[in-house]
Amino acid sequence: MANIFPKWSNKVPLNAIIALFLLSSVGTAGVYYFFSPKYTRIGYQPTQPVAYDHSLHVNQLGLDCRYCHTYVDRSEHANVPDAATCMNCHNQVLPDSPQLAPIRESFQSGEPVPWVRVHKLPDYVYFDHSAHVNRGVSCVECHGQINEMKVVEHAEPLSMDFCLSCHRNPAEKLRPLDKIYDLDWKAPNKEKQLEMGKQLVEAWKIDPPLSCSRCHR
């Protein structure tokens, strides 16, 4: 009796198994890589060229955020400090520490320290730091309790839903201007927060935009 199927069809089951294995492997690797904190951002905590402990510098030593991020209240961007800022203290404090060698080298050469960026919005999103911190939005609302972090991590999603929830209900997030950089400050309770927030919204005439064109430029 003649064969109904051609000879090459004998390899179809084996090829199908190999294809399924490769497809599942690629799919698993893709999910593992692109759904990792580096891409979803929440929990992203890269290793920096120089370890910087915010809990030590802010909570224990009392550094104000603006000492290092000098333009956060005057610019769209919260700048990363240069080596000269670090050396203002570290020319006296731990001046020979091996951990600070990249800072000293940067200070001498003028080449920037290759810090790894943690917080990143898409390129099509416009965000002005100064507009927020000068109208009652503290660092912790977007960056989490950063003054308690030994290693900075991406604490909030910074998604469109995250931003719009604040724009729709700003009173829940606002605080007095003298408490913006007091990262441990909290209103006594939710009722007090809403009462104070509504007063600040009215006093400062806060009307956060909800249209697409205000943030997507």
Cα distance between residue 112 and residue 81, in whole Å: 10
pLDDT-above-70 percentage for the chain: 91
Domain ranges of the chain: 73-79+118-215
Question: pTM for the full model?
Answer: 0.79
Q: Write down the pLDDT at residue 117.
A: 93
DSSP string, 149-212: -SS----S---HHHHHHHHH-GGGTB--GGGTT-TT---SSHHHHHHHHHHHHHHTT-----SH
Tens digit of each residue's pLDDT (9 = 90 or more) over 7-35: 776 777 777 788 888 888 777 766 655 55
CA count, 13 A, side-chain hemisphere, 183:
22
Average pLDDT over residues 61-88: 95
